[in-house]
Structure 1
């Protein structure tokens, strides 16, 4: 492929019944968002997605494939309660041809993931995960080839490095292979040995991660990849860019944001000098059509989820948007107070990661479902004894991430270079030689979000329950009972200007 034609959002390729074309519809990071997002946004939803898929399949004379770039799970009560079962049934029903693994597919461990994938009708790909020593053996292919009118298209999948991102217990036995090396080697094999005409890389590595593997770098370092269909960073690439590769040719890179708000389309002209084009479909209410089969699949799961999730347990005095300072402060302080309850000792600092918060809370009534979807992961609150030098090293990592949540009385500033300037607890600088009591969640205590220094701590106590159940219990029977939730909006980790 010598050049890529990038189309505007609503532009369309002119295709004929006799031309050698392939259309690929693609999604990524839908995160169990089976229903549309809440009003007033009201976007996405599986029924709207299927309406677009069906319309493209019916209107397009050439073959149409459907692929997902990972993280189809985690984010609503349906995953929390049923562990990915309903999402896999819907991928099957929608007729996906290929699915790949995101990091959240591992949230319940490899055994549960394997159980779900045994029922998968799409081809499951991973080019750079060696799973032969795990329960995933035999369920995942390294590549896939599709033939269209005498032309061949090869598909590969590049996954994110799990170390520091996924709890090790959930991917134990899997061997990670360098993504750049695996992609280039497999793309070369497909072009030169399998004699494919195009190579499409489906990835879950993100568009622009500055510290690791990403789609921009993959495209620029490649020689034989023609299109990258990406995920992980929740980036809406509109218009989709092209990136010059190592030989000066162009690679089309696409991604559709998150929660199924958009569906992407890539059209590939498979003639010798053919190009690829892309467009996006915004899934609005106008695209909504009833689908009795989808409702029948979801209904038994929804009934159970509603019976649990609809129970009112408290009230919020204000709105707590997902990315708000108030919510981050509220949860960090809860981790501190719960840490004191389970350890019977004062907590010096609590640490809560932004990535663990998946939804916000609205002013007014709070239900069990609100708490479970806000903090859906199976994390438990843990109390550690940690040396000051390790805490300072961890603070440096948190600053490099543009700050995380910390408890009241902790103030940490950092510069434009994301390097720490000061770190104080109750007005006193963190001392390298002192031992600190740190309350956090088990994911971070195990080195998640690259917080490896926390793994050097000595565990003093751990909650018997996951964090969302701790909060539910506190709202029903404990310190939060009868209180309207509120929190200050003062930044505790902040960029010093």
Structure 2
């Protein structure tokens, strides 16, 4: 039996033997060791960096800086968030569908992204890898959901009511926060069909009050991170010699 003391104040790590005893695998063990009085050391600019630690970290910091500062595209105009419809929301919703479809190997009917999942705009000018990490700092995976027509209707009802969801490959009209018409892939919404949706695992699991997505008939993993989908899209656009743009294309029509 051994006790392993952490170098950090107030932290005590228990050895394997003690864990087993507490789990009932051995007789009860009562430790006799006690912690000394902790010493609080404020971390501020008056605390000089440790030269050994700095030397150890330096090559890793340089590598991270080199990666994050890599320019992967150019935006002639800023892509920004907004309510109802936005250039940034449309751009990311569209690529969630196309990039996930490429990994999935089959066409996907819809793509979706909420404005809450987009933490920063894409500013005008050069776009770096670090910019994409600031836009999408989460380790969210893209999933493919197969939804009943009833759940798809709930999706669009949510979009009209909350006005923070961008949807790809669809157009809809709304009045006073309520849906009046829906077209998917240019075709009228069909209550007799099921539809597939590319969306992050966070939203698929009910994030942003989208609990209705947990009623999906089928959930398929892709292994594609949402952030990587954005990086791939920007790099692909740049490889074609094109700028990175997003637009308000009228996919949402607000009726008076």
Query: CA 1:441–1:429 in 2, change beyond 3 Å: closer, same or farther?
Result: same
Preserved contact between residue 342 and residue 461 of structure 1 (Cα < 8 Å) = no
1:104-115 matches, cutoff 5 A: none
Q: 1:422 aligns with which of 172, 178, 181?
A: 181
Specify the SS of the correspondent of 2:67.
Answer: helix
Alignment equivalent of 1:292, drawn from 39, 42, 45:
45
Distance in structure 2 (CA, Å) of the matches to 1:430 and 1:382:
22
Residue 401 of structure 1 pairs with residue 162 of structure 2: yes
Give the TM-score taking structure 2 as reference length.
0.69
Q: Which one of the candidate residues 417, 420, 437 is aligned to 2:196?
A: 437
* Shift, 1:293, TM fit: 4.5
Instruction: Tell me the alpha carbon deviations over residues 58-86 of structure 1, each in whole angstroms, 9 at most, x when there is no partner.
Output: xxxxxxxxxxxxxxxxxxxxxxxxxxxxx
TM-score scaled by length of structure 1: 0.38
Which residue matches 2:173?
413
More helix by share: 2
Q: Distance in 1 between matches of 2:150 and 2:48?
A: 54
Q: Which residue of 2 aligns with 1:139?
A: none
Gaps of 5+ in 1: 1-117, 120-290
CA 1:465/1:403 → structure 2, altered by over 3 Å: closer, same or farther?
Answer: closer
Is 1:357 equivalent to 2:115 in the alignment?
A: no
Give the match's secondary structure for 2:192: coil
The 1:428–1:348 alpha-carbon spacing in structure 2 relative to 1, beyond 3 Å, is same
Q: Does 1:345 align with 2:106?
A: yes
What SS does the aligned partner of 1:360 have? coil
Q: What's the counterpart of residue 319 of structure 1?
A: 78
Q: Deviations over 1:313-364 (max 9, x none)?
A: 2222321124371111111110110121122222221111111000011222
SS at match of 1:320: coil
2:63 paired with 1:310: no
Larger RCO: 1 or 2 (CA < 8 Å, sep 6+): 2
**1:204-258 C-alpha deviation (Å, 9 max, x unpaired):** xxxxxxxxxxxxxxxxxxxxxxxxxxxxxxxxxxxxxxxxxxxxxxxxxxxxxxx
Provide the residue aligned with 1:449 in structure 2.
Answer: 208
Within 2, Cα distance between the matches of 1:295 and 1:413? 60
Q: Does 1:472 align with 2:225?
A: no
- Relative to structure 1, the CA distance from residue 450 to residue 309 in structure 2 (aligned partners, 3 Å threshold; closer, same or farther) is same
Q: Which runs of 5+ in 2 are unaligned?
A: 1-9, 12-43
- Partner SS for 1:383: strand
Give the corresponding residue for 1:30. none
- Map residues 25-424 of structure 1 onto 2, 5 A cutoff: 292-293=45-46, 303=61, 306-323=65-82, 325-408=86-169, 410-416=170-176, 418-424=177-183
The reply on whether 1:492 has 2:245 as its aligned counterpart is no
How big is the shift at 1:307? 3.6
**Higher Rg of the two aligned structures:** 2
CA deviation after TM superposition for structure 1 residue 412, in Å: 1.9
Matched residue of 1:292: which SS? coil
